[in-house]
A and B are shown apart, each in its own frame.
Chain A
Amino acid sequence: MWDNQTIMMIVEGTGVTLYMTLVSTLIAYLLGLPMGIALVVMAPGGLKPNKVIYKILDVVVNIVRSIPFLILLMLIIPFTRFVVGRSYGATATIVPLSLAAAPFVARLVESSLLEVDHGVIEAAQSMGASLWNIIWKVLLAEARTSLIVGATIALGTILGYSAMAGVVGGGGLGDIAIRYGYYRWQFDIMIVTVILLVGLVQILQVLGTKLSKKLDRRITG
């Protein structure tokens, strides 16, 4: 049973899982980062309060976050087909993954940016900094460790979601686990994929924590 073909399949599955996770996280950040920034900047009492946009963003983020991922995955199949041309496979899975993760990322970014000391923002304002300067050089730069910790959490969560997409033929380790482990009762393959998934999350977590610590200048000694 553990012939070259099976091993190749698992190695390939690991690659596909990483591909889905990394690309989806990237897209989720492209969408979620601006949303998170907007949530902070436009909040009541923020740098540029805007009740309407803030409320809309807030509600949209909450709605998308409250839809279970599997349901969202199926709900947006027409959209996925429209974007990628088909609704199954790794690349198609990236669409719902990114969309589901974006609001989550927005909240992570929001909470990181809210940690930035208000006094430092005020100091930048007192120097005549523009809104863009404050976002870029104060909010994002000062919150960078927290943002990296957040990104690590996002990666782990998206990796987990990507495995879930296996149910509908999403590709990757989750797909293998369901097809071989669940439908064919090949428990050994299931266990190997689970170990690999756990291992991947571990590695990402360790790397993320290390990076954030390395970049943090608030710790002395």
Chain B
Amino acid sequence: METMIQIKDVTKTFVGKDNSVEALKGINLEVHKGEIYGIIGMSGAGKSTLVRCLNFLERPTSGTVLIEGKDLSEMKDSELRKMRTQVAMIFQHFNLLMQRTVIDNICFPMEITKKPKYEAYERAKELLEIVGLSEKAKAYPAQLSGGQKQRVAIARALANNPKILLCDEATSALDPTTTKAILALLKEINQKYGITIVIITHEMSVVQEICSHVAIIDEGTLAETGTVEEVFQRPRSRAAKKLVIQGDTTPKMEMKGRRCIRIVFSSNSSYEPVIANMVLTCKTPVNILLADTRDIGGVAHGQMILQLPEDRETAEKMVQYLKNRKLEVEELDNYVG
């Protein structure tokens, strides 16, 4: 597949008065055309810096960034600006012009590319329809909800038919329902127009929802990359494990020394009560410490963490049962939520 973005040994150091901070320590990454690529990490991991290196809002201290094979560091200012019309970006706080109407906000990037006014206006109307906000054309951003503002920002980002859309924590300021709707819109845009999307987030659920590939960034380095399936089912690095098994409602229970397992659902039918059947078969209860599963087209997706009974034999039997049901089973040492 055609490579869209290539990042080679990128480092970024912020030099302060008394100290310097190494935000990125040698990142290598490749994003292909048409992918929805998630970059996930805890806050302060360097993901926002990394995404800003993709359009040179931040210049990397060393290393190269290639967009469609072209090295950004070799571009003149005017070439960089031209490239940026093809690499659009949306933000956590939307960053709309507050003194302009919705439709004028969408026209703004086309003013930059000097598109004739009438054409720009027509295009803006078309975009408003795509994001479902036609009736708000004359409204000002202050009159819109967060989700509506992000829709305007998306319409604005699409104005110049970009090849790449960078999303910097684009759903982090939104409630779960609105987040879902915005992610669905991004997915639709990706499929309809073939725009490559890079999503920066700290929420695994966002990655699971729409990304095809994911990179996990931890303290300025790439901890792990792969398809979302791979990383979710078999997280190898510490950072990946932490992100995958991050429940908001972390159980604080006495469980050290007891055997805990994590099971991943990816191919089982949603209608099959696996855990209940296991309990009935083994005639011993288990403790569910975390459960995060959902039904996607009749197939169960997600994960659970179970605390197994102390009796070794029964525990082994249970693990075997789950494995027979084709579930991924992973042992967790001293899981403390």
Contact = CB atoms under 8 A, between A and B. Distances in A.
B98 A142 contact: yes
Contact of B112 (A117, A122, A129, A220): A129
A125 B57 contact: yes
Interface string B64-100: 0000000000000000111111011101010111111
A192 interface: no
Contacts of B109: 127-128
Residue with the highest number of chain A CB atoms closer than 10 Å, among B83, B88, B112, B160: B112
A146 to B, nearest CB: 11
B112 A128 contact: yes
Interface in A164-221: 215-220
A126 B88 contact: yes
Nearest to A117: B95
Contact of A123 (B81, B89, B160): B89
B142 A119 contact: no
Given A125-B57, A128-B113, A120 B142 contact: no
A217 B98 contact: yes
A120 B55 contact: no
A120 B112 contact: no
B321 interface: no
B142 A219 contact: yes
Contacts of B113: 128
Interface stretch (A24-32, A93-101, A130-138): A130-138
Contact of A128 (B83, B97, B142): B83
B89 A126 contact: yes
Contacts of A122: 57, 91, 95
Contacts of A123: 89, 91, 95-96, 153
B84 A218 contact: no
Contacts of A126: 55, 57, 84, 87-89, 166
Interface string A106-128: 00000000000101101111111
B111 interface: yes
B97 A142 contact: yes
Contacts of A130: 81, 112
A119 B99 contact: no
Contact of B143 (A133, A142, A220): A220
B121 interface: no
A218 B156 CA distance: 19
A138 B143 CA distance: 20
B148 to A, nearest CB: 13
Contact of A138 (B87, B97, B141): B97
Residue with the highest number of chain A CB atoms closer than 10 Å, among B101, B143, B153: B143
Contact of B99 (A125, A144, A220): A144
A74 interface: no
Contacts of B101: 217
B84 A125 contact: yes
A137 B156 CA distance: 15
A83 interface: no
A137 B108 CA distance: 9
Nearest to A145: B99
B140 to A, nearest CB: 4
A130 B100 CA distance: 19
Nearest to A216: B99
A215 to B, nearest CB: 8
B108 A127 contact: yes
Nearest to B90: A123
A217 B100 contact: yes
Contacts of A145: 99
B142 to A, nearest CB: 5
Interface in B109-151: 109, 111-113, 140-143
A220 B141 CA distance: 9
Contact of A137 (B81, B88, B95, B111): B111
B282 to A, nearest CB: 55
B85 A128 contact: yes
Nearest to A144: B99
A150 B108 CA distance: 26
A141 interface: yes
A212 to B, nearest CB: 12
Contacts of B99: 141-142, 144-145, 215-218
B82 A128 contact: yes
Nearest to B111: A137
A133 B108 CA distance: 10
A127 B95 contact: no
Interface of A: 117, 119-120, 122-130, 133, 137-138, 141-142, 144-145, 215-220
Given A126-B89, A128-B113, 17 more contacts: A117-B98, A120-B97, A123-B89, A124-B108, A126-B87, A126-B166, A127-B84, A127-B112, A127-B156, A127-B160, A128-B83, A128-B112, A142-B98, A215-B99, A217-B140, A219-B142, A220-B143
Please list the 6 inter-chain residue pairs (A to B) with the smallest Cβ-Cβ separation, ordered nearest first: A128-B84, A123-B95, A128-B81, A126-B89, A119-B95, A217-B140
9 contacts: A119-B95, A125-B84, A126-B89, A127-B88, A127-B108, A137-B111, A142-B99, A217-B141, A218-B140
